[in-house]
Amino acid sequence: MWQLYGVFSLIALAATAEIPDYQEAKKPIIPILKQTFDQDHGGYQFSYETGNGIHAQESGYFKNKGDEKKEILVQQGTITYHDEHGHPITLSYIADENGFQPQGAHLPTPPPIPQEIQKALQEIPQQDYAEDYQQ
């Protein structure tokens, strides 16, 4: 019996729910203020600016065009937006045969390698080289 009341409650709730206006749903929440896109045989480029302060631009081209084994799309660009405190964040990037390589002051960086470890790493190849000639 309680299950039946639950079903009727859901039906009553659904019947009173407001159906959104289709025309209103088509309006963008954040407007696009500027937008460009150009493409030719050499590559492409686009940019846009939104009403909430996002600025982005990207360009791309094929490296080694025509060589099926070595052809790769190189993409590079920049995007700027604001964090929750209103500070601008800028991310620059390139994506090529070496993968996606982002750069930005907001990105975490690894701690520096201690000098003792750097020195040890530099001595390793010298030790291997010296051992090869002692045999």
Average pLDDT over residues 35-39: 96
Residue 23 has pLDDT above 90, yes or no: no
Q: What local confidence, expressed as pLDDT, does residue 50 receive?
A: 95
Q: Report pTM.
A: 0.60
Average pLDDT over residues 83-99: 94
Q: Where are the domains of the chain?
A: 30-108
Residue 57: closest CA among 76, 81, 38, 31: 76
Question: In whole angstroms, what is the distance from residue 118 CA to residue 133 CA?
Answer: 25
> Where would I find the beta strands (DSSP E) of the chain?
32-40, 43-50, 55-63, 72-82, 88-96, 99-103
Residue 118 has pLDDT above 60, yes or no: yes
- Token pair, residue 74, equals 């190189």
Mean per-residue pLDDT over the chain, rounded: 82
Q: What local confidence, expressed as pLDDT, does residue 116 receive?
A: 92
Question: In whole angstroms, what is the distance from residue 38 CA to residue 58 CA?
Answer: 11
Average pLDDT over residues 62-82: 90
Q: Render pLDDT for 46-63 as a digit per residue (tens, 0 to 9).
A: 999 999 999 999 999 999
